[in-house]
Structures are given as C-alpha cells and as structure tokens.
Amino acid sequence: MNKEIWNKPKVCSNIGGEALIEGVMMRGNNKVAISVRKASGEIHTEVKPSIPMTKRNKILGLPFIRGSVSLIDSMVVGIKALMESAEQVDFEEEENESKFDKWVKKWLGEKYFNYMIYFSVVVALAISIGLFMLLPNLIVGLFHFDKQTTGGSLLANLIEGLIRITIFISYVYLVSKNKEIKRVFQYHGAEHKTIYAYENEEELTVENVRKHTTLHPRCGTTFIFIVIIISIIVFSFAGWHNPLINVLLRLVLLPVIAGISYEAFKLSAKSGSKFVRLISIPGLMLQKITTQEPDDSMLEVAIASMKAILEETAETGEKTVAVSEGAL
C-alpha cells in the first residue's frame, strides 16, 4: 500500500470531487466546479452555487441526522453534474434526439432537467436498496438454520453482509469492463491525484499531479464499506424475523445506518490510528478498480476544475477546515 495514503495533509480542505463523463467535478463549501473535455479538445469549466442541505437547515445538520441528508444531497448534486457533463460532451448531437425525448421535454416543460435529476436519484436509490440491501436478506432467508437465537441471528446477518459485499464488488468489477465506465474511473483517479497535490501545497501542474497515487482514504468507496460494516452490526441488534418484517426493518434502519456511518467516516478522516487504517484497507483495495491511472489530458481537466473552485473560494473568503474526499 502506498505510504502517501497515510500521510497527514499539509492543507486541510473540505473540497471533494466526483468523476464525470469526460470530466471532473470539484465541490467546495458553497460552490461546485464542473470541467469537461469537449469533442473539440477544449476544456469547458463552469462554477455554480451549491449550498448543502445541512447548511440550509440547522436541524438537518445535526450529528446522526446529517448522514442520510448528506447522502441524498450528494446524489442529487452528483447526478446533476453527471447529466450536465453528458450534455457538454454530446451538445452537437441534439438533432439526433428521439421522438420520445422530445415528447417528454414538451410534457414536462422548462423544468424537464430538474425532474430528470430527481427521477434519476429515486431510481438509483431504489436499485441500490433492492440490489444491495434487500436481495442479500432474501437469499439468507433460504438458508435452513435457526436464526431466532442470538448466535443464529448474528450468523445470518454476517452471511447477509458477506453476500452484500460480494454482490457489490461483482457489480463494480463488471461495470469496470465497460469502455466508457473505465474512462470515468480514470477521471476518478485524476480527481484523487489532483486533491493530493493540493493537500501537499504543490503547484497544480500535470507533472506535480501525475506522481501521486489514485487511492485516497477519504473516498466514497471507503464510505460504502463502512456502511456495510455498520449495517451488519445494526441489523444484528434488530434480530431476524419473517421476510416482510426483515425488509421493513432494513428500510426503517437505513437512515440510522447512514447517520452512524457518516459520523464514523468523518471521525476516521481525522484519525491516524492503526485501527482506522485497518478498516480503511477494504475500501482502498476496491479503489484499485474504481480508480484507474489517468492520462495527462484527464489530469488537465481535473486541474482546471480544482483551480476554478479554489479561485471561487479565494474570492468569497471561504475557509477550508476539514478534509472530506468525494464519492464515486
């Protein structure tokens, strides 16, 4: 494992990122910068306001509440940026728009884009909950052993967690074989390298950024593993019941798991203990799939996005206080 991963950053920052389609998003306190490489080779960069929901409402920003709120907020912002990057890449192909797309736009009107974003979030949540939360539980239900005892319940939840991890890793591995997804993973690597360079107070040049590792302990991939570990513990306390009750309990406990996982993730970002390093290793190993070595043109895009968000931060006088790496 690269030693750089465990080095304490010289600059503590709340700037996180996300890989896009032929681009990179960097998010600061109240702004997002989206840089995309167009078909012409030009890098298009746009900076927009983006105030987290946890800052807009004090109650939503309370510990253990902010976890699930931040998760949904990040999904909305991320999917919106992803769709905007796709529009930038394909802006010359609007004449090939299908009749169905034209009909939907006409039906939904000017707010078509916003509706599509929230619909995408709902679909993404439904697939995630169904595939990674409910399906493993249904599979374990087929195993014939006594799950009503304390030991049986613990074993059932442990098996469920292992199945969940297996499904997730298999899913990530399979999608990584897609050519377009692989390029997104390369931009993910470019995002991490750029953040490392910034955290080390280096000039943001391709040469300086290139030398850094693509693996980052505060990546959202690591957060996912923390969620899985926390879910095994929480579900164990909930016991094992009939399939319907199990499904309802898992849905009801999702905000609790998200809240605990978020606080644990924030705590781990500030800690250098060996235990924290140990529980971070599975997520870092998975990043060997979700981040790939970028080429120099991809690094240029990530640098452009980082510079744009830093310029906005400097102009508005925003302070950077705690490292918080972005999700996939």
Give the pLDDT confidence of 133-182 residue by residue, as tens digits: 789 988 998 998 999 888 898 899 899 989 988 998 998 999 899 898 99
Give the per-residue pLDDT at 203.
96
Q: Is 311 left (phi over 0), alpha (psi -120 to 50) or beta?
A: alpha
Lowest mean pLDDT among 204-208, 276-280, 314-318: 314-318
Tokens of 192: 């991490």
Reported confidence tier of residue 114, pLDDT bands at 50, 70, 90: low
The per-residue pLDDT for range 1-35, each reduced to its tens digit, is: 677 888 888 887 778 899 999 999 999 888 999 99
pTM of the model: 0.84
Q: Are strands 23-27 and 31-37 parallel, antiparallel or unpaired?
A: antiparallel
Contact 281, 217 (CB under 8 A): no
Mean of all residue pLDDT scores within the chain: 85
Contacts with 7 (C-beta within 8 Å, 6 or more apart), sequence order = none
Mean pLDDT over 37-60 rounds to 92
Contact 88, 44 (CB under 8 A): yes
Mean pLDDT over 219-230 rounds to 85
Q: State how far Cα 269 lies from the chain centre.
A: 15
* Helices and strands (H, E) in the chain, number of each type: 12, 4
Give the per-residue pLDDT at 98.
59
Residue 23 dihedral angles phi and psi, to the nearest 5°: -165, 180
The per-residue pLDDT for range 259-273, each reduced to its tens digit, is: 999 998 887 766 667
Contacts with 306 (C-beta within 8 Å, 6 or more apart), sequence order = 15, 17, 26, 33, 194, 195, 198, 204
Q: CB atoms < 10 A from the CB of 155, how many?
A: 18
Contact 181, 328 (CB under 8 A): no
Give the per-residue pLDDT at 299.
98
Of the candidates 77, 10, 86, 68, the residue with the CA atom closest to the CA atom of residue 48: 77
Give the per-residue pLDDT at 277.
75
